[in-house]
Amino acid sequence: MALTGLQIQKLLPKTNCRECGSNTCMAFAMKLAAKKAAITECPYASEEAIRVLGAASEPPVRAIALGSDRALILGEETVLYRHEKTFFHQTALAVNINDSDPSVIIEETLKVVRDYRLERVGETFRIDMVAVTHAGRDVDSFASLAEKAWKTTGRPLVLRSDSPAALEAASVAVKGSRSVLSAATPETVEELCNSAKRNDHVLAVTAPDLDGLFQCASKLREAGFHDVLLQFRTSSLAEQFQTNFAVRRASLKDAVKPLGYPFLRFLDHSIDHLEIAAGAITEINKYGGICVLPAFDPALMATLMTLRLNIYTDPQKPIQVEPKVYPIGDPQPDSPVFVTTNFSLTYFTVSGEIENSGTSGWLVVPECEGMSVLTAWAAGKFSGASIAKFVKEVGLENQVSTREIVIPGYVAQISGELEENLPGWKVLVGPQDVADIESFVKTVLSKRTMVNYDVKP
Ligand code: SF4
């Protein structure tokens, strides 16, 4: 819980010596409360002040870094609902292999994890992790499969076993991968904490109920070990949802520190595809840290990654593309010119439909702060004057020989203003719906004789 300036001032020496750069301890306390200064700037701060203020400034949900480069970050969330601010670190998706699986399945899964790519609105997504489950083979085989999974995919792993000896062996075999050991129970927490510490891994803790989990996580905190994930045991989708929500609420609203860690969830309790999909969607929507899928399913993976992209996009900053003139296909100087806004979804939909129409063209995308067509127009960011200014700035008139520009049908009203600001150009009003671009190209543009629009059948 954040401390007020007055509460902080009570922890300071109150000598007003000014060595921190503030005139009084109270002024310094106010800066600390506003997070504009650090307690280390006061050379006389007591150990007690440093401890209390350090704990108060700790994020409610700890950031956990995974991978040899520590590039996969979980946690560090500060709000319950994305519209309050944004969610920062998206749910990592992992695919499971069992050491008892046939080797052909193991090989195929590792290859998919290594090579899978999904493109959405200009971003490329990959599978984040592999889970390796100890399901019957001996300890050495489990450890060498873990090593193979790491070496093949380069991804951090979730190592799952009920045997501390197996986890220790695998943990040594993949030292340097900064993976997750799953899971420590109240009985094994000390032993596995030492293993995680020695080999620089993260430790998932689990218990039959939340009280047990709280005790386990508290023990690790007291030992100064914070590389922790919480692995709940729930028996239904409703319980999964309630537990995730209740624990995240406790960490964010009530500052329950032992519950302030990211979550780990395995979804292999069912072979029902819909149940697995619903479980994974729940994790993405409600605070999942790592979600382990029982196998690779391309339809489910693409769906989950698309959902995740939406949930973890900053609601105050729409995804945008760079403002510029984009060639679509293989445009020539006399190819048609279209204009739209730089909201990613709009750009990719429009460019895709131009491509589908069988023609090549130029797509002019001015700066519209990532807004869609009507929103940008209403905000004055997509007007005849602003489009004309952009066209001149990028030197489109030197790049193309055509002097016709197609505007979206929803902003037909800017055509006069655009023609006024772009002398020598004719404005054509395109369709309102992007789905009609293809028929617009074929029925309107291709029939025009003044320009050569090379429309492929
Ligand atoms: Fe007070 Fe410390 Fe600043 Fe001195 S350095 S004024 S004691 S807060």
CA 12–ligand 1 middle distance (angstroms): 7
- Cβ(51) to ligand 1 under 6 A? no
**CA-wise closest residue to 387 among 367, 369, 416, 372:** 367
Would you state the pLDDT for residue 450? 44
Asked if the model's pLDDT at residue 384 lies above 80, the reply is: yes
Tell me phi and psi for residue 184, to 5 degrees.
Answer: -80, 135
Average pLDDT, integer, range 230-234: 95
* Ligand 1 centroid distance, CA of 277 (Å): 56
Residue 42 beta carbon below 6 angstroms from any ligand 1 atom:
yes
Counting ligand 1 atoms within 8 A of each CB, the residue from 9, 15, 18 with the most, and so the one to mutate, is 15
Distance 165 CA to ligand 1 centre (A): 52
Q: Ligand 1 within 6 A of 46 CB?
A: no
How many angstroms is it from 25 CA to the middle of ligand 1?
5
Q: What is the pLDDT of residues 413-445, one digit of tens each?
A: 999 999 999 999 999 999 999 999 999 998 888
Q: Cα dihedral angle (273, 275, 278, 279), rounded to 10 degrees?
A: -110
Return the residue whose CA atom lies nearest to atom 3 of ligand 1: 20
Instruction: Confirm or reject: Cβ of 192 under 6 Å from ligand 1.
Output: no
What is the pairing mode between strands 361-365 and 324-328? antiparallel
Residues 6+ positions from 136 with CB-CB distance below 8 Å: 98, 99, 100
Other CB atoms within a 10 A radius of the CB of residue 374 amount to: 14
283, 286, 287, 291 alpha-carbon torsion, rounded to 10°? 0
Q: CB of 93 closer than 6 A to ligand 1?
A: no
pLDDT, greater one: 244 or 270: 244
- The answer, yes or no, to whether residue 226 has pLDDT greater than 50, is yes
- Model confidence band, residue 159 (pLDDT cutoffs 50, 70, 90): very high
Residue 203 CA to residue 186 CA, distance in Å, equals 13
Substitution candidate for ligand 1 out of 8, 9, 16 with most atoms within 8 A of CB? 16
Which numbered atom of ligand 1 lies nearest the CA of 41?
5
Number of Cβ within a 10 Å radius of residue 354: 27
What is the model's pLDDT at position 269? 67
> What are φ and ψ of residue 271, in 5° steps?
-110, 5
Closest residue by CA, ligand 1 atom 8:
25
Q: What is the pLDDT of residue 448?
A: 64
Looking at residue 22, what is its pLDDT? 92
For residue 17, give the ligand 1 atom closest to its CA: 4
Distance 349 CA to ligand 1 centre (A): 58
pLDDT of 83: 85
For residue 152, name the pLDDT band (cuts at 50, 70, 90). Answer: very high
Does residue 449 register a pLDDT over 50?
no
Question: 100 C-alpha vs ligand 1 centroid, how far in Å?
Answer: 63
Per-residue pLDDT band for 452 (boundaries 50, 70, 90) equals very low
Q: Is there a cis peptide before residue 295, judged by omega within 30 degrees of 0?
A: no
Dist. CA 46 → ligand 1 center (Å): 11
Q: Residue 56 C-alpha to ligand 1 middle, in angstroms?
A: 19
Mean pLDDT of 112-133: 93
At residue 298 the predicted structure's pLDDT band, cuts being 50, 70 and 90, is very high
Distance CA 285, CA 90 (A): 10
Measure Cα distances from 25 to 4, 31, 216 in Å: 14, 10, 39
Cα 30 to ligand 1 centroid, rounded to whole Å:
12
- Closest C-alpha residue for ligand 1 atom 2: 42
